[in-house]
Amino acid sequence: MVKREDMFLRNYSGTLMYLNKPLCYFKIQNGELVEARRIRKESNLFPYEIWMHGITYGALNEFFRDRVVLDGAQFCREYLSALGLDHYDFEAIVKINHGRNNLDNWWVKDQMQ
């Protein structure tokens, strides 16, 4: 079972969006934030972690951790199967869902979209 403290993004980049508004661009390579650029000035649109700590690897990773179903959650295997995954992979889940959850309006526009 994957523990919460083992859930880290290694390679992911894109633009964090709120609805259709771009907030910031980030690029994570080999578990390190190598590029970050704020696009919007309105702090009230940013998720709490980024609003409090800025665009840091830790803030981004914490934000995504709170958006992904935990390994071992009820119906987790069915959920993974619906995503086309045969095992729990935190980073793959974030990428497939574009960082979305059903409780708010933040998501990531990947570079290729």
What pLDDT does residue 112 have? 59
| Closest to 37 in 3D by CA, of 27, 52, 47, 51 | 27
| Closest to 65 in 3D by CA, of 2, 15, 19, 20 | 2
* Residue 2 predicted with pLDDT over 90: no
Distance CA 36, CA 5 (A): 23
* Residue 3 predicted with pLDDT over 90: no
Angle at which helix 90-97 crosses helix 76-83, to 10 degrees, equals: 60
Going from N- to C-terminal start, the domains of the chain cover 7-110
Which one-letter DSSP state was computed for residue 80?
H
Helix (H) or strand (E) holding 76: helix 76-83
* Residue 1 predicted with pLDDT over 90: no
Which one-letter DSSP state was computed for residue 69?
P
What pLDDT does residue 6 have? 80
| pLDDT tens by residue, 20-71 | 999 999 999 999 999 999 999 988 999 999 999 999 999 999 999 999 998 9
Distance CA 10, CA 65 (A): 13
| pLDDT tens by residue, 69-97 | 989 899 999 999 999 999 999 999 999 99
- For the chain, the C-alpha Rg in angstroms (whole number) is 14
Which one-letter DSSP state was computed for residue 10?
S
Q: pLDDT class for 102, splitting at 50, 70, 90?
A: confident
* Residue 113 predicted with pLDDT over 50: no
